[in-house]
Amino acid sequence: MKIEQFAYDNRTVRDFGVATMIFGIVGMLVGVTVAFQLVFPALNFGIQYTTFGRIRPLHTNAIIFAFVGNAIFMGVYYSLQRVSRTRMYSDTLSRIHFWGWQLIILSAAITLPLGLTSSKEYAELEMPIDVAITLIWVVFGINMFGTIMKRREKHIYVAVWFYIATWVTVALLHIVNSFALPVSWFKSYSLYAGVQDALVQWWYGHNAVAFFLTTPFLGMMYYFLPKMANRPVYSYKLSILHFWTLIFLYIWAGPHHLLYTSLPSWVQSLGVVFSIMLIAPSWGGMINGLLTLRGAWDKVRDDTSLKFMVVALTAYGMATFEGPLLSLKSVNAIAHFTDWIVAHVHVGGLGWNGFMTFAILYWLFPRMYQTEIYSKKMMEWHFWIGTLGILFYAVPMYWAGFVQGLMWKEFLPDGNLKHEFLATSIQIIPMYALRGIGGVLYLGGTILMVYNLWQTARKGVFLANEQAEAPALEHEVIHVGHSHWHKIFESKSLVMLVGSLIVVSIGGVVQLVPMFFVKENVEKISTVKPYTPLELEGRDLYIREGCNNCHTQMVRPFLSETERYGEYAKSGEFVYEHPFLWGSKRTGPDLLRVGKKYLDSWHYYHMLEPTSISQGSIMPPYPWLFEQTLDYSLINVKMRAMRTLGVPYTENEITQATENIKIQAKGIVENLRKEKKITVNSNLEIIAMIAYLQRLGTDIKVEKQQNIDTQK
């Protein structure tokens, strides 16, 4: 047997590690900022580019794709080479992957504050960046599969199964969810409308959690945990069982984000039951990790990286138990749209992703720099304030969610709601403050880590190419005969790729395809009409300002909601909604039925100075809407695009659009003057915003009116 000499590429790993740290700090800093903006709305300093609606997506994108993303690549590039006993397939591809990804992050950091967003959560980036992501993802794929193919190890290790599943599923999710019709470089409309768009989005959104935040980290756990603890993996059988069941079941669970919405009930129920069935497969990973570790439990006392690992696994266990619980309809009825969900995802994000990333960084850097960690004490401190940070984040948010759940639904005996929406918001501001403190603690810990690793790097010598040797793989000896049936998947990366693709596709196909082709899934309402040109422009402003980050447009069928907001949402109301704007969190009240509820002048003052109308509101003022003139130069293109997507604009409506805008704007200006003697220019953005808000949810009221009329 020939022993071959080769070298592992540490440079790419190190670079991804450094990027992880930089973007970790940036992402958390933005997170802390948005957290405190909910306590002190003035914290955007009156600048439109730093309002909550615009930088909350920046926070989520920076954390998910920049911090966690880079951490994944760091972990994959390190572990994949070693379990395959080969260098990465191509150094050039590694470079392209690294710099390409950083450029994508940079462009996200520029476009999101500018308000260039698709409004779809965790997929806010616009068309050109989406294409870039696809390209870089393909580069990563070629590099990864190339490496797997030229491996010197007969079988593919469990960590790599997870990497393969991650790659193929993320590609699938990203492409399907990003289908959109562009109207300009940075403006496009989702191909799907309303209910379908919501389903596709949360099929994506939920599985972004599954296949970007979970499976790659499970893969990394399977490599780094046994390495750190110097223990064998507890159970190979459990690995097989939980790997396949996890990727099969996860993909179905997306609709649990849309319980009690206008989504057809059968899809909702599928979301519920598949979430429940996810408990065991999710816990499979945790159990395998913990039982691997239990053989070295005495080491946990002294080894801080292992402590990070244990907390990560615990957080994972808690979050994956809580998730199915929240998917039960009765729990979801209370918890959805509240801060409980925010707490839930942060237990996962801060605990599972964050802490595991820290553990790996602490383990990798001293090794790559061939030295000891600069300060163990500092590491210990990081662990402590990080853990405290998680607690200070999660506990107040759980209580906030609890308060919201209780107060939003509290009735008086005479059948009236007890609390105004704003009364609840005011209650939870102290909790928001506490949560901000939690974020600061966590960020402080991260900064400490960066300093610690920086010093470690300074005192060590970087080993860019780590020499290694291994016997060449003898291809002909692969036999399936007596070995475990699963070895078929472990021998051929393509079998694994196709296998996981098939397994993850099933759930998506079963849920998505009927939604596109079976017409009965979306009811038809004759009174629902497309937006006028001015309203359409207003809607684009709504998207630009990220209003959907705080306001839902989804009244669920509960008395407490119909009493507060009006008739509950029907799927037929959303047929022209490209993209859907249901939102996922009620920091502010629902807006589905806000149209015609208040005067035009109410909206005027409210956008100018929210607290003057809603005392104690934490919504920031939007003075720039009163200064910037509305740019409707693209209105014809936009309407044509909408028509391509199935919105029935007539040719006449499209050619008359500019005229139409001017007429409708004049009407609003006239209203403002009549109501409160407000004089305002009709070409300002605020006019379009008012037009859109006053239209919201009114189509169905018209229907009711008609019914009453016909009865008479």
Partner 1 sequence: MRNMLKHITGVETYLIFSLFLFLVFFAGMLIWLFVFLKKNQVEYFKNVPFDGTENNAKFPKMPILLLIAMIISPLSAFAQDKPTFYVDSTLFTEWTMLFLIFIAIFLTAITLGVAIQLLLIMYNLTATEEEKQLGIWQVLLGLKPIAKEKDLMLPEKYDGISELDNPVPAWFNMLFGVTIFFAVVYMGIYHVWKVGDLQDEEYVKEVQYAGVQKEQYLKKIASLIDENNVKVTKDKKALDEGAKVYQINCASCHGKKGEGGLGPNLADEYWLHGGNINQVFKTIKKGVAAKGMISWEKKLNPLQIQNTASFILTFQGTNPPNPKEPQGEKFVEKSSAKGNAK
Partner 2 sequence: MDTTFREQVGVLDKKGGRNWIYAKKPKGYFYNWRKVMAFALLIVLFATPFIKINGHPFMLFNIVGREFIIFGVPFFPQDFYIFALVMLLGLVFIALFTVAFGRLFCGWVCPQTIFMEFVFRRIEYWIEGDASQQKKLNALDWTTDKILKKTTKHILFFLWSFWIANTFLAYFIGVDALWKMVEETPIKHAGTFFALVVFTGAFYGNFAFFRELSCIVVCPYGRMQSVLLDKNSLVVAYNYLRGEPRGKIQKNQKELENELENTLGNTTKNTKKGDCVDCGLCVQVCPTGIDIRNGTQMECVNCTACIDACDEVMLKIDKPLGLITYASDESIKTGQKFQFTTRILAYSIVLLLLSTVVLFLLLTRPQVQVYVLKAQGTLFYEVNPNTLANLYNGEFVNKTFEEISIEIKPKYPEATIKMIGEKTTFKLQKQETKKATFFIEMPRQKLKKINTNVVLLLLVNGKVKKEINCSFLGQ
Tell me the closest approach of the beta carbon of residue 576 to partner 2, in angstroms: 28
DSSP code of residue 50: G
Binding mask 214-253 for partner 2 (x = CB under 8 A): -----------------xx---------------------
What distance in Å separates the CA atoms of residue 665 and residue 537, rounded to the nearest whole number? 11
Tell me the closest approach of the beta carbon of residue 248 to partner 1, in angstroms: 12
Q: By three-state DSSP, how is residue 49 classified?
A: helix
- Give the length of the chain: 712
Q: Sort 282 into a burial class: Cβ within 10 Å, 0-12 / 13-18 / 19+.
A: buried
What distance in Å separates the CA atoms of residue 166 and residue 280, rounded to the nearest whole number? 20
Residue 314, contacted partner among partner 2, partner 1, none, CB below 5-8 A by kind: partner 2
What distance in Å separates the CA atoms of residue 694 and residue 692, rounded to the nearest whole number? 5
Please count the other Cβ atoms lying within 10 Å of the Cβ belonging to residue 679: 7
CA neighbor of 651 nearest in space, from 661, 638, 639: 639
665 sits near partner 2 (criterion: CB under 8 A): no
Q: End-to-end distance of the chain based on CA atoms, in angstroms?
A: 94
* Residues 162-201 contacting partner 2, CB under 8 A: none
Residue ranges of the alpha helices (H) in 6-90?
A: 11-37, 52-61, 69-84
What distance in Å separates the CA atoms of residue 588 and residue 433, rounded to the nearest whole number? 17
Tell me the closest approach of the beta carbon of residue 339 to partner 2, in angstroms: 11
CA neighbor of 36 nearest in space, from 473, 574, 438, 573: 438
* Complex with partner 1: residue 235 or 314, whichever CB lies closer: 235
For 84, phi then psi, to 5°, come to -100, -10
Cis bond before residue 579 (omega within 30° of 0): yes
Tell me the closest approach of the beta carbon of residue 83 to partner 1, in angstroms: 4
* Complex with partner 1: residue 410 or 627, whichever CB lies closer: 410
Residue 420, contacted partner among partner 2, partner 1, none, CB below 5-8 A by kind: partner 2
455 sits near partner 2 (criterion: CB under 8 A): no
Tell me the closest approach of the beta carbon of residue 417 to partner 2, in angstroms: 11
Give the residues lining the site for partner 1 (CB under 8 A): 79, 82-83, 85, 153-155, 157-159, 223, 226-227, 232-239, 241, 245, 260, 265-266, 268-270, 272-274, 276-281, 283-284, 287, 291, 411-416, 556-559, 562, 568, 597-599, 602
Strand partners, 5: 469
Q: For the CA atoms of 20, 233, 497, 10, what is the dihedral angle to 10 degrees? A: 40
Q: Which of 91, 135, 370, 420 binds partner 2 (CB under 8 A)?
A: 420
* Residues 282-311 contacting partner 2, CB under 8 A: 283, 287, 290-291, 293-298, 300-302, 306-307, 310-311
Residue 631, contacted partner among partner 2, partner 1, none, CB below 5-8 A by kind: none
Tell me the closest approach of the beta carbon of residue 254 to partner 1, in angstroms: 16
Q: By three-state DSSP, how is residue 265 classified?
A: helix
* Residues 373-402 contacting partner 2, CB under 8 A: 383, 387-388, 391-392, 395-396, 398-400, 402
Binding residues vs partner 2 (CB under 8 A): 231-232, 283, 287, 290-291, 293-298, 300-302, 306-307, 310-311, 313-314, 317-318, 383, 387-388, 391-392, 395-396, 398-400, 402-403, 406-407, 410, 420, 422-423, 426-428, 430-431, 434, 597-599, 601-602, 605, 608-609, 611-616, 675-676
